[in-house]
Amino acid sequence: MASADRPRPPSLVELVTELPTRVTDLVHAEIELLKTEVIGKLKALGIGAGFLVGALLVLGFMVGVLLTAAILALSLVIPGWLAALLVAAFLLIVAVILALIGWRILQRGIPPIPSESIHSLQSDVRTLRGLGTRGGARRGGAA
């Protein structure tokens, strides 16, 4: 009576005929899992980036407040208009220095062509051609 309660195991032919369907279902399930995971991670990246942008915006406001405080502090010693001009001149000097440093760094990257890698590849091609045509006789000059 115990054998009547248990379902019979599938035969080999049934397993082999179900295999393509099961593999297809497994692949579809894996693709859905991948999509879900990627979408979740992209959402997290977007939300995190939004909070970072918000933090940078607040930081920018803070810098403005600090600059105003510097102007007000200087206005206790010198006239307010002169304090504002001095802070503006200081910011201009900092901006010019940063721009010059940035320009120098940009000049190192212009043009954005990997010239060293291209030169190395050309050298490798010349070497391979020299070895492939005469068995390396070109390199030393003697045949």
The Cα 32–Cα 25 span in angstroms is 11
Question: For residue range 5-26, what is the model confidence (pLDDT) as tens digits?
Answer: 788 888 888 888 888 888 888 8
Question: For residue range 67-84, what is the model confidence (pLDDT) as tens digits?
Answer: 999 999 999 999 999 999
Task: With cut-offs at 50, 70 and 90, classify the pLDDT of residue 2.
Answer: low
The Cα 137–Cα 118 span in angstroms is 25
Highest mean pLDDT among 13-22, 53-62, 105-114, 122-131: 53-62
Torsion of CA 13, 18, 23, 26, to 10 degrees: -140
The model's pTM is 0.51
Task: With cut-offs at 50, 70 and 90, classify the pLDDT of residue 119.
Answer: confident
Q: What is the pLDDT of residue 46?
A: 93
